[in-house]
Amino acid sequence: MAARDRLHGTLDLLVLKTLSAGPRHGYAIAKWLEEGTRDKLRVEDGSLYPALYRMEKQEWIRSEWRTSELGRQAKFYLITPAGRRHLKAETEDWLAFATTVTRLLELAV
Amino acid sequence: MSQEPEGPDPLDRSPLRRSVEQEVADEFDFHLAMRARELAGTGLDSAEARRQAEARFGDLAEAQRLCRELAGHRERRARRIVFFSELAQDFRFALRTLRRRRAFATLAVITTALGIGAATAIYGVVDRVLLRPLPFDEPGRLVAVWASEPERRADPVLSRGWDKVPLGSDEYLALQKATRLRGIALFGTSANMLSNGSTRERVTTLVATSSLLPTLRVHPVLGRGFLPGEDVHDGPKIALLSWETWRSRFAGDSTVIGRSIRLDDYPYTVVGVLPPGLRLDRTATQAAVWVPALQGDYDLPERHNRQYSGVARLAPGATLADAEREASTLIGEATASPAGKSSARVADWQFDQTRDIRGSLLLLLGAVGVLLLIACINVATLMLGETAKREPELAARAALGAGMARLSRQLLTESLVIAGLGALLGCALAWAGTRALIAYAPPQIVRLGGIGLDFRVLAFATGCAVLTGIAFGLVPALTRLKPADYAALRMGTGLSGRRSRGPERLLIAGEVALSLVLLVGCTLLARSLGRLTAVDPGFVPDQMMVVQITSEKAPYDDSTRAARFYASAMEQIAALPGVVTVSASTSAPFTGGSSSSPTRPEGHPADPTVPPVYTQQREPMPGYFATMKIPLLAGRDFTPADRDGAPLVVILSEAAARRDWPTVSAVGHQIFWQGQWRTIVGIVGDIKFARLSREDEPILYAPYAQAPWGDLAIVVRTRGETGALASAIRERLDKLDPAATVLAVIPMVSLVERSYGEERYRTLLVTLFGGMASLLAAVGIFGVISRAQARRTREIGIRLALGSPAFAVIGLMLRETALGIGVGLVVGIPAALLVVRQLGPYLFQITPTDPTSFGLALLVLLGAFLAAALPPAWRANRVDPARVLRSE
């Protein structure tokens, strides 16, 4: 359960991070994740969307239909002020956690 | 479309909104297309690219299900936002259209306001008196306990209140053993002079057993209540102050405990202060002081005096029937005598307190309900007419794509806006109306004092508004917008030609039927009141003043001082200009007093196995019958020679003489009264003394000099105007004796009027409602005929051009409403017959089916019809055929 939460949380964090740079549609987010993680963090395309809908329900992001770069209607996601606050807090948490774990792991036992 | 500046058309539905399902599908499809396109870029053929894109997506169906579920909340919120924004649009739009149609809106709002205002005002009183629970802990468990003597029903003097017989010490002691009742308590009221330092004031005193406060679960805010052992014969003279008295007379001083006050010149020690607003009966005046009961000689068990009301709590699990059975047994044992025994009546306390006034108030509530219904129907009729006028506008909206449901909702919103405005104005009317209700109300309602518009009453008004709004909004919405009509609206052909007038007729019929019910009701009540006020009271109340005096008990323990006071008072009054004769009596008619006791004619030995026969008793001064103009039928009047020590004499009223000596004259015979045989020296005519509607009760008159018990009321026969005399009398008597207080100097006519105040009040209100109802019905009929006249102008023009006579055109117009009115009468007359049967107990010498009342009601309705219908019908006749034909 905790592991799944962590996974959700990580995905959420990454999505918020990409949206903090500007609106993107679902496919663009998926591409960013692929490229950014160099496929180390393989997420099934299908599991990205429930995460997006969940975050929208939590009002971290919102969506609107716009015309995509190829002239087709696509649903774009935008980060909300609440989303930005969440991103900031979670990033700090994550870094603190990672630092601690890293320090412990590097410690000679 | 200049009147639509802000926002989109309120009746518009956005075609751009997509469903959640569609949205998820579109989004996924976009993703797959993009992925496939990317894969196609690596050299795959398009079908293979699509297949791989789908594989990469994973479980498509599951993802869709999850997303739809997650988006559901957004869908609901969106729907809510649309609903409210449409509502706001409807509301703004309704206000705007109503502003454009000012005459219609004003009429509709005023009609609604009248209905809601009247209903709210009456409901305010009903709520306060009947519905609101008593302000005590677990009020539903508090019960009134009375003795009940069913055999008294046969006795004309005692029949009143046979099941509301007060309790005394015997019953109190007996009821202590009850297991179904907890904490039986007795209380009664008396009027006393409260002196505190130099101020003296007449106050109501509550006499209560020590159990009363614990039974009510009320605690004194200061000091203590009465203790068991204090409410006994010759117990300590202690008193509790009401919060209000403590604040106003003692400045809220907490050192008042232990201080001495005087009630009728007897000293009492204050032991406590009661909580604010404490009153036992909403319809009675609040007591200023409480003193312990059962302390007087009167209360000794062997005296068998009964003067207290009983209250108790039902024991846990006990029912009213249980408690009544047990109390009956206990009281029966305690009161058993060879002549019979009493039983008990146990009833819900609040219900019992409002027993006398309940029917009357519910009657008014019913009448006002009918009025509200008529107002609703009237507004519905108005709305129907308006909808007809608005067909072009509705057609335009339909053509622009507004759905049927949306148009109905728009109409409904308009009616709710009207109802809301009506309720607002109605509340203002109710606020003013309540004031008037109280100003003219009989004392029981007046004492309610603080009737106002509180939360419960406002909630009632709001409920009325919503229900009426829906009621009269739905009628046009439903009748106007049938799918076929809707199609016609869209096609722009309009409805005028093929519209059914059924609903309009139905509404007129309903209005007429309901108005008839109200009118018959108020005619019956008015005629009954007429009969009542025409009753001859047996004396001449005109040109007569009554002086009510109370004396403090302590100085007047000596009865000669009282006699001296009355003699000099009468002497002083007799000397005033304009006074013809002066006399006095205990319990003068219509002063509210009455007392009776057992009497026995000669030849009837005392028989303890037979219940005693009671006779009303009055103790007049000489010259009383002449002053009152009560005719002396046989024998002689009292003279100053019938004094203390002279042979004991009495005069009987005709009813008393006939009862005891049915075949011979009673004059010269003996009657046993108050422990002594007395000779009957005269017979006088019967009089009414409490209510004009009552049967004549047998009365025994004994000279005050030979029976000097109780306060006298002085009666003054005057010449001409009585107004100035009142202050002159008061002035003379105030100086006479500080221990006697003039309570009131009132024309006898006012006292008689006051006796039927409740009947008059009820009749006045129902007549007011009846008048409003016929006015509303008239407005409805006027509207229908006016519209018909407007609609059929062309037809009328042609008829006139073809030589149709004027009366035929007028007849044509009247026929527009004739069917509705006919149906209304056919339904209304039997309905009225059914409803007015409920009026039976409130009618005096009139049967509910009185044909004259029905005839009068029909006449009033006919008058209203003609007044409403003739002007527009006449106008139809004035149509200029040439102009009408040219305008086509």
Residue B744 banded pLDDT, cuts 50, 70, 90: confident
- CA–chain centroid gap for B452, Å, is 14
Q: Which of A44, A54, A68 sits opposite B70 (nearest CB)?
A: A54
Q: Nearest CA to B185 among B149, B225, B243, B220? A: B225
Cβ within 8 Å of residue B389, ≥6 positions away: none
Taking only the tens place, the pLDDT of each residue in B657-671 is 999 999 999 999 999
A54 touches chain B (CB under 8 A): yes
Average model confidence (pLDDT) for chain B? 83
Asked if A72 and B30 come within 8 Å (Cβ–Cβ), the reply is yes
CA distance B589 to B741: 20
Q: What is the mean pLDDT of residues B215-219?
A: 94
What pLDDT was estimated at residue B619?
A: 92
Tell me if A26 and B23 make a contact (CB, 8 A cut-off): no
Residue of A nearest to B36 (CA): A27
What does the pLDDT look like over B314-361, one tens digit per residue? Answer: 999 999 999 999 999 998 888 777 667 788 999 999 888 888 788 888
Give the nearest partner residue to A25 out of B30, B59, B63, using CB atoms.
B30
Q: What is the DSSP-derived secondary structure letter of residue B340?
A: B
Lowest-pLDDT range of B454-463, B475-484, B679-688? B475-484
User: From the CA of B7, how many Å to the nearest CA of chain A?
Assistant: 21
How buried is residue B784: exposed, middle or buried, by Cβ count under 10 Å (0-12/13-18/19+)? Answer: buried
What does the alpha-carbon distance between residue B283 and residue B438 come to, in Å, rounded to a whole number? 13
Give the confidence band of B415 by pLDDT, cuts at 50, 70, 90. Answer: confident
Identify the residue with better confidence: B197 or B697: B697
The three-class DSSP label of residue B95 is helix
Instruction: Please judge whether B35 and A49 are an interchain contact, meaning their C-beta atoms are less than 8 angstroms apart.
Output: no
Task: Tell me the H-state helices in B537-607.
Answer: 559-574
Question: Residue B260 is encoded by which pair of tokens?
Answer: 């001495």
- State residue B348's pLDDT score: 93
Q: How far is B56 from chain A (nearest CA, A)?
A: 6
Res B641: pLDDT: 92
* Facing B60 at nearest CB: one of A46, A53, A56: A46
Looking at residue B498, what is its pLDDT? 43
Phi then psi dihedrals of residue A15, to 5 deg: -60, -45
Whole-model pTM: value is 0.72
Q: For residue B510, how far is the Cα from the chain centroid?
A: 26
Residue from B20, B39, B67, B69 whose CB has the most chain A CBs within 10 Å, to mutate = B67
Q: How far is B91 from chain A (nearest CA, A)?
A: 30
Distance CA B211, CA B281 (A): 17
CB crowding B806-815: b at 16 or more within 10 Å, else e: eeebbebbbe
- Contact state of B35 with A44 under an 8 Å Cβ cutoff: no
User: Nearest Cβ partner of A26 from B27, B70, B71?
Assistant: B27
Would you state the structure tokens that stand for residue B754, as one six-digit string? 């006051």
pLDDT at residue B812, rounded to an integer = 77
- Predicted pLDDT of residue B628: 95
Name the average pLDDT for chain A.
83
Under the banding of pLDDT at 50, 70 and 90, the label for residue B189 is: confident
pLDDT tens digits, B240-299 = 999 999 998 888 888 899 999 988 878 999 999 999 988 887 767 789 999 999 888 777
Residue of B nearest to A26 (CA): B31
Residue B651 identity (one-letter amino acid): I
Q: Per the CB < 8 Å rule, is B67 touching A53?
A: yes
Count of alpha carbons within 13 angstroms of residue B568, beta-carbon side: 12
Query: What is the 8-class DSSP label of residue B543?
Result: S
In Å, the largest CA–CA distance within chain B is 144
Q: Residue B800: what residue type? A: L
Provide the edge-to-edge strand list for the sheet that holds B740-747: B579-586, B712-718, B544-551, B740-747
pLDDT at B491 exceeding the cut of 60: no
Q: Residue B454: pLDDT band by 50, 70, 90 thresholds?
A: confident
* 3-state SS class at B877: helix
In angstroms, what is the C-alpha Rg of chain A?
A: 16
Q: Report the range of poorest mean pLDDT among B13-27, B193-207, B623-637, B697-711.
A: B13-27
| Residues 30-49 in A contacting B (C-alpha not used; CB under 8 Å) | 30, 44-47, 49
Structure tokens at B709: 């018990």
Residue of A nearest to B33 (CA): A27
- Of the candidates B26, B63, B73, the beta carbon closest to that of A49 is on B63
- Gap between the Cα atoms of B685 and B619, Å rounded: 16
The reported pLDDT for the residue numbered B687 is 95
pLDDT tens digits for B586-596? 889 998 878 88
Strand partners for A76: A25, A64
Long-range CB contacts (within 8 A, 24+) of B800-808? B800/B877, B800/B879, B800/B881, B801/B881, B801/B882, B801/B885, B806/B877
| Burial classification of residue B561, based on how many CB atoms lie within 10 Å of its CB (0-12 exposed, 13-18 middle, 19 or more buried) | middle
Predicted pLDDT of residue A3: 43
